Chains A and B, each alone.
Chain A
Amino acid sequence: MDRARSEGMGEKSSVRRIWAPFRARLSARLAAGFLSLVGIAVLIGPMWLAYGYDQTDLELGLSPPSLMNGHYLGTDILGRDLLARLLYGGRLSLLVALIATVISTGIGVTYGAISGYFGGRVDEVMMRAVDVLFSLPYFFLVLVLMALFAEPEVVDPMIRLLRLRPDGAMAEWLRGPGVRLVLLFAALGAVSWLTLARIVRGQILALKNEPFVEAARAAGAGTWTILFRHLLPNASGPIIAYTVLTVPSVMLQEAFISFLGLGLQAPQASWGALVHEGMQAMSVAPWLLVFPAGIMVLTLVCFYIVGETLREAHEGHP
C-alpha cells in the first residue's frame, strides 16, 4: 500500500522516465504497439465475432482461411472458428501470465528486499536458498501439481477464505474450470520469482547506505517504512524491467503445461493448447499450427523486446 502511494506521488516523472528508452528505439515502440493491439484485441475482439470459441459446425470442419464464410482464419476439425479460439485463448494465456507475474513479483520483491536490507547471516541463508531453488526440477513439481491437484476440493479453503456462498455461481465456477486456473496462478507464481529476488536484493544492498536512508532513519522512520517507502521506490526501474521480462517466461511455461495436456481443459484452450491441436492436424490443416504458433511467438518476442529495452535503460549495457 505504502509503496503504491509513494510511486503515485512521482507519477508524471516516472511515466516519462519509463518511456524515454522507447524514444530511441523503433523496435521497442513497435513491440509495445503490438502488445497493446493484442491486449485490446483479446479484450474486446470477441464482441464483434459471429462465432463463439466453443461453437461447433461439423459441416465446415477443417475449412481453410477464407473471407467468404466468415471464418477468416479457418476452422478446426470440429468446425470451431480459429480466430475466436485465438482471441479467447489469448485471454487465458495473458490472464495466467499477468496474474502469476504479479504473484511472483510480490514474492520476489519482498524476499529480495528483506534479504538485502537485513544483510549478514539472514542474507547469506536467504540467497543460498535461492541458489539452491534455481537448480531444482521445479517444472516437474508444477506438472505434478497440475496433474494430481486439479480436484474440486482443492479450492474449498479458498472459497471459505473469500467467504463465497458454497452453492453460489462463483464457487461453482471455482470448483469446475476455476481449479486449474487457480492452480496455474499459484504454481507459476510460486516458481518464477527467483531472478527478481536476486535483482532486488542487489539494488537494496547498493542503496541502503545512501544518505537518504540515514535521513529517513534519523527522522524516526521504522524498518518497514524505510524498506517500502524509501528503498523500493528507488529500485522501481529494475523491478519493472524484470517484471516485464517475467511475463513471457510465465506465458511460455503455461503454454508448455497446456501443450502437454495438463493445463486448462477443453473446450477452453490457451495458446499452448491451440499449438498442440494444430500440431496434430498440421499435415491436413497447416493454418491450425501456423496462426497460433505465430501469434504466440510474436507476443513473446515483443514482451522480451520491451523488457530488454527497460532493462538496458537501467543497466546501461546490452
Chain B
Amino acid sequence: MGGYILKRILLAIPLLWLILTLTFFLVRWAPGKPFRRERAIPAEIEAHLDRHYGLDQPWYVQYANYMRGLARLDFGPSYRYPDATVGEIVRQGLRASVPIGVAAYALALGLGLPLGVLAALRPQSAGVRALMGLAVFGVVTPNFVLGPLLVLLFSLTLYWFPPAGWGEGRHLVLPVVTLSAAYVAYIARLTQSGVQRALAQDYVRTAHAKGVHPRAILLRHVLRPALLSVLSFTGPSLAFLLAGTVVIEKIFAIPGLGHFFVQAALNRDYTLILGIVSFTAIALIVLNLLVDIAIALLDPRVTLGRGG
C-alpha cells in the first residue's frame, strides 16, 4: 500500500512539470505581445515594461524564473491588474469558487447515490423510472442552458432567489443547483448500473442463501463496489466541475476563479492565464492523487498496481 502511494506521488511530479511547461510555452508562443494590443504605446515604454516584467530576457531565463517562482507557489504579477499579484487574484477567486464547487459535489453525491440505489432496487416503480428518464435530460442539458432557465423561473417569475450576485447564502442556491444537476444525474446512473451489476454477483446470492439480513448485504456487498465506480469517476468529474464553474460564474456574475480566467483570456493577461491554468492543474493532480489513494484503500484488488 505504501509503495503504491509512493509510486503515484512520484508519477504526479513529472506530470505536473509537463503540464506547467506545456502551458508556459503555449502562452509564450501565442502570436502578439502582451503590451502591444489595442493601443499603440511608445517604444521606450514598451521596452521599459518588458524589462520590468523580465520579458526582454531569453525564453529559457523566463522559463527558469517562472518555474522557480512556482516552486515557491509564487505566480508573479498580473499584467492587467498591476496592484495585485496572480496569487492574490487566485486566492480571491477561490473564496467564491470553492464553496460552490464543494456544495455542488456534495449535493450530487447526496441526491445521486440514493436515487441510483433506489432505481436499481425498484426497477418497476413508475416514479423511479420517471426520475431516471429525467436523468437522461439532466446528463445532456448544458448548465448554461439550465442556469438561465432557472433564473427565468425562480428569479424573474417567482422572485424566490436573486438572479445574480454574491455575498449571502441565498446567492448560492441557484448556482449550486445549476452546477450539480448534471452530476446528480450522472452519479445516479453510475450508481444504478453499479448496484445492478453487484446484485447479479454470485457472492450476493451466497449471502442471501446463508440468511444475511438484506440491509447488511446491501451495505457490505452491493454498495461498496458501486461506490468504487462512482469514486473513480471523481477524477474526470472534478475537471468538468472546474470547467463548469467558469460558465456558472459568468451566468450568475460571481467573482470566482472561472470569472477571472475568462477575463484574463479576453484581456490577454498572460501571467494571470498561466497562473490560473497552473493552479487548476496542480489542484486537479493533487485531488486525483487523493481519489486514487482512497480507491486503493477501499478496493483490495487495486493494491498490486494499476486499477481496472
Q: Is the CB of A275 within 8 A of B265?
A: no
> Of A279, A297, A305, which is within 8 A of B148 by CB?
A279
By beta carbon, the residue of chain A nearest B145 is: A293
Give a binary string over B271-282; 1 marks a CB under 8 Å from any A CB, 0 the rest.
Answer: 001001100110
* B-side interface residues, number (CB < 8 Å): 49
> Of A141, A153, A276, A282, which is within 8 A of B26 by CB?
A141
A residues near B53, Cβ cutoff 8 Å: none
B2 at interface, CB cutoff 8 A: no
Report if A256-B277 is in contact (Cβ < 8 Å); known contacts: A282-B152, A304-B139. no
CA A145 to CA B273, docked complex, whole Å? 11
> Of A154, A276, A293, A300, which is within 8 A of B149 by CB?
A293
Give a binary string over B233-252; 1 marks a CB under 8 Å from any A CB, 0 the rest.
Answer: 00110111011001100110
Q: Is the CB of B149 within 8 A of A149?
A: no
B residues near A147, Cβ cutoff 8 Å: 265-266, 268, 273
- 8 inter-chain pairs at a CB distance below 8 angstroms, sorted by A residue, are A136-B19, A138-B239, A140-B242, A143-B246, A148-B265, A154-B31, A252-B142, A272-B144
Which chain A residues numbered 151 to 172 have a C-beta less than 8 Å away from chain B?
A: 151, 153-154
B207 at interface, CB cutoff 8 A: no
CA A252 to CA B145, docked complex, whole Å? 11
Which chain B residues numbered 109 to 163 have a C-beta less than 8 Å away from chain A?
A: 136-137, 139-142, 144-145, 147-149, 151-152, 156
Report if A151-B31 is in contact (Cβ < 8 Å); known contacts: A293-B148, A293-B149. yes
CA A185 to CA B84, docked complex, whole Å? 36
Give a binary string over A275-318; 1 marks a CB under 8 Å from any B CB, 0 the rest.
Answer: 11011001100100100010011001100110000000000011
Q: Give 9 new A-B contacts, CB below 8 A, not counting A151-B32, A300-B141.
A: A134-B236, A135-B236, A136-B281, A137-B242, A140-B277, A141-B277, A148-B26, A260-B262, A318-B193
Report if A296-B26 is in contact (Cβ < 8 Å); known contacts: A135-B238, A248-B140, A301-B136. no
A47 at interface, CB cutoff 8 A: no
A111 at interface, CB cutoff 8 A: no
Q: Is the CB of A136 within 8 A of B239?
A: yes
A117 at interface, CB cutoff 8 A: no
Interface centre among B144, B238, B280 (most CB of A within 10 A): B144
A139 at interface, CB cutoff 8 A: yes
By beta carbon, the residue of chain B nearest A278 is: B148
CA A143 to CA B145, docked complex, whole Å? 19
CA A137 to CA B20, docked complex, whole Å? 11
> Of A134, A149, A279, which is within 8 A of B235 by CB?
A134
Binding site secondary structure of chain A: helix
Q: Is the CB of A283 within 8 A of B31?
A: no
B191 at interface, CB cutoff 8 A: no
In angstroms, how far is the closest chain B Cβ from the Cβ of A59? Answer: 27
A residues near B246, Cβ cutoff 8 Å: 139, 143, 256, 260
Report if A279-B251 is in contact (Cβ < 8 Å); known contacts: A139-B239, A289-B148. yes
A122 at interface, CB cutoff 8 A: no
Number of A-B contacts (CB under 8 A): 133
Report if A296-B145 is in contact (Cβ < 8 Å); known contacts: A140-B261, A141-B23. yes
Q: Is the CB of B265 within 8 A of A297?
A: no
CA A83 to CA B23, docked complex, whole Å? 40
A residues near B306, Cβ cutoff 8 Å: 128
A50 at interface, CB cutoff 8 A: no
By beta carbon, the residue of chain A nearest B240 is: A139
Q: Is the CB of B152 within 8 A of A143?
A: no
> Of A140, A256, A286, which is within 8 A of B280 by CB?
A140
Q: Is the CB of B265 within 8 A of A135?
A: no
Give a binary string over A249-283; 1 marks a CB under 8 Å from any B CB, 0 the rest.
Answer: 00010011001111000000000100110110011
Q: Is the CB of A132 within 8 A of B152?
A: no
B residues near A276, Cβ cutoff 8 Å: 144
A residues near B139, Cβ cutoff 8 Å: 304
By beta carbon, the residue of chain A nearest B243 is: A139
CA A201 to CA B276, docked complex, whole Å? 34
Which chain B residues numbered 172 to 216 have a C-beta less than 8 Å away from chain A?
A: 193
Q: Is the CB of B250 within 8 A of A260?
A: yes
B1 at interface, CB cutoff 8 A: no
CA A153 to CA B285, docked complex, whole Å? 34
> Of B19, B23, B137, B262, which is within 8 A of A301 by CB?
B137
Report if A135-B284 is in contact (Cβ < 8 Å); known contacts: A140-B261, A297-B137. yes
CA A121 to CA B36, docked complex, whole Å? 48
Q: Is the CB of A153 within 8 A of B148?
A: no
Q: Is the CB of B149 within 8 A of A283?
A: no
CA A134 to CA B235, docked complex, whole Å? 8
